[in-house]
Amino acid sequence: MPDDHGPYGKAQRGALFGDIFGRGSALGDEAWLQAMLDTEAALARALERARLAPAGSGAAVTRAAAAANFDVAELGQLAALTGNPVPGLARMLARAVAETDGKAASAVHRGATSQDIMDTAAMLLARRAIGATLADLESAAAAASALADAHRETIMIGRTLLQQAVPVTFGLTAAGWLSGLDSAIRGLITARDDRLAVQFGGAAGTLASLGERGPRVAAMLADELALENPPLPWHTERLRIIDVAAAMARVTAATGKIARDVTLLAQTEVGEVSEGPADNSKKQENATPGGGSGTTQGAGAAAGNPPAAPRRGGSSAMPHKNNPVASIAILGCARQVPGLLATLVASAEQEHQRAAGAWHAEWQPFTEILNLASSAAVWTRELLEGLRVDTARMTVNLTAAGGLPLAERVTALLAGTLGGPRAHDLVATAAAKAVSSGLPLRDVLLADPEIADTGVTPEQIEEALDPAGYLGASGEFVNAALSAHRSAEKRD
């Protein structure tokens, strides 16, 4: 990803964990500072439009409101004196404006309280993070869609409670990933369109210092920042914060599901998928690497995606390792979010017109949720665009079970003559014998005289043990997921 992340700062590429947990929106101190300054500048423009500030005030404040003009460390020290960084910032901004336009300085922070600036800045940061996250999720969903379509008939063993169950298709697995991503995308769009609102209520939510023109200034501030203008200030009604954070938490839930599946399928003893570099030159095509297994490359990267770093997936101690780094990073992001979300929910109980501590407790967890969800989306895009699918290994693992995953189907076949309970017990006994003897279930079933007496033919047993005939509505479900995805793309 490029270092420049737009008007709210740059990714801290030199930070120790920045390239793992801060790969998307990368919101930090500089981002917060610029968002607060943008709010102050927009307020000055709104005041001028409402004729509550001298002509030219908006432009003068806007020119001065650049993060590069301020010292974050100094603001941090001032914040310790007042409990938040806004009072110090407002004084510094007013001085900077006064150097070029003494009258315009009167427009800085007029009518506002610190929470107005902080909360509105949080909404600007959320919009930035949602935009970055949506872009990566949409690319990830496109890659999942391609995998589902390409592998709609690729049979693999399904697993329940981490044990082999009945056959499924890898296309169905990818369709499940796609459905989760599409749902997360819808949630983000709802949060972006319905829950991002300006905060402007003044000292106690009445805008008394602006008189009868206060609501007009609030509407103009919302217009300047392209945020919703709520019916009234929400200083101690914090559901907007929770809703945005919850939408981001749904992102990490959806991406975490994908990552967990990949880590399990990529285990050496399973080996059905592996991570590879997202590479636009590699399409859905078959290859036969040295092991003789048929491997399908992922959907291909979006244009401009950088190649994977050398030795990604390596170990400090074991040279042979090829760890699923993208999946691990996604899970690392996802594991942190629930606790952060819980902090925001717990902080929603706020006193009267301004909270004593609960509001302050929101700032860091809210920022971290935005960063973690955005980072998980980047990693998920890379994971799915570069995912290698080993179809031959899927066949080997399915065959290695010796027909046991089709025991349910054989039971249904025998139930017509033996009845359900007796058929279940007979097949269960045969399955146990197959496991203890190492024989295929087919051989045990065909050697059982009670089965022979039912009139069920060997050909019927063979057919019942064919996994291709026991996929149920897998294909229909894949089609439904792909259709829903295409419909969602058109709506968006």
Span 306-353, pLDDT tens digits = 445 455 665 455 555 578 999 999 999 999 999 999 999 999 999 999
Q: Tell me how far apart the alpha carbons of residues 87 and 417 are, in angstroms, rounded to a whole number.
A: 83
- Among 209, 315, 483, 487, which one carries the catalytic annotation? 315
Task: For 294-363, list the strands marked E by DSSP.
Answer: 295-296
Read off the tokens for 291: 């092991």
Report the alpha-carbon distance of residue 183 to residue 80 in Å, rounded: 41
d(CA 192, CA 127): 6
Continuous H helices in 86-113? 86-98
Query: What are residue 163's phi and psi, to 5 degrees?
Result: -115, 155
Domain ranges (residues) in the chain: 1-112+212-225, 114-199+234-400+473-492, 404-464
- Cα–Cα distance between 290 and 322 in angstroms, integer? 16
Rounded Cα–Cα distance for residues 175 and 420 (Å): 33
> Could you tell me the CATH superfamily of domain 1-112+212-225?
Fumarase/aspartase (N-terminal domain) (1.10.275.10)
Name the DSSP class of 197: B
For residue 340, give every residue at least 6 positions away whose Cβ sits within 8 Å of its Cβ, in sequence order, or none. Answer: 245, 365, 366, 368, 369, 372
Sign of the CA dihedral with 453 first, then 459, 460, and 466 last = positive
Fold matches, 1-112+212-225 and 114-199+234-400+473-492:
no
Phi, psi of 444, rounded to the nearest 5 degrees: -65, -45
Enter the DSSP assignment of 417: H
* Angle in degrees, CA 152, 380, 338, rounded to 5: 115
H or E, element range at 481: helix 474-491
Tell me if residue 354 is catalytic: yes
Long-range interactions of 295-298: CB distance < 8 A, separation 24+: 295/388, 295/389, 295/390, 295/391, 295/392, 296/150, 296/151, 296/388, 296/389, 296/390, 296/391, 297/386, 297/388, 298/143, 298/146, 298/147, 298/384, 298/385, 298/386, 298/387, 298/388, 298/389
Catalytic residue from among 49, 186, 216, 354: 354
**Digits of tens for pLDDT over the chain (492 positions)?**
334 444 554 444 447 888 888 888 889 999 999 999 999 999 999 999 999 999 999 999 999 999 999 999 999 999 999 999 999 999 999 999 999 999 999 999 999 999 999 999 999 999 999 999 999 999 999 999 999 999 999 999 999 999 999 999 999 999 999 999 999 999 999 999 999 999 999 999 999 999 999 999 999 999 999 999 999 999 999 999 999 999 999 999 999 999 999 999 999 999 999 998 755 443 333 333 333 346 666 554 333 344 454 556 654 555 555 789 999 999 999 999 999 999 999 999 999 999 999 999 999 999 999 999 999 999 999 999 999 999 999 999 999 999 999 999 999 999 999 999 999 999 999 999 999 999 999 999 999 999 988 999 999 999 999 999 999 999 999 999 999 999 988 876
Q: Residue 158, SS3?
A: strand
What is this structure's pTM? 0.89
One of 3.20.20.100, 1.20.200.10, 1.10.3720.10, 3.40.50.720 is the CATH number of 114-199+234-400+473-492, namely 1.20.200.10
Interatomic CA distance for residues 74 and 123, integer angstroms: 24
Report CA dihedral (356, 359, 363, 367) to the nearest 10 degrees. 160
- 111-146: per-residue pLDDT in tens? 999 999 999 999 999 999 999 999 999 999 999 999
3-state secondary structure of 4: strand
Distance, CA of 198 to CA of 124 (rounded, Å)? 9
Strands 286-287 and 295-296: antiparallel
Tell me the residue length of the chain. 492
Query: CB 16: neighbour CB atoms within 10 A?
Result: 7
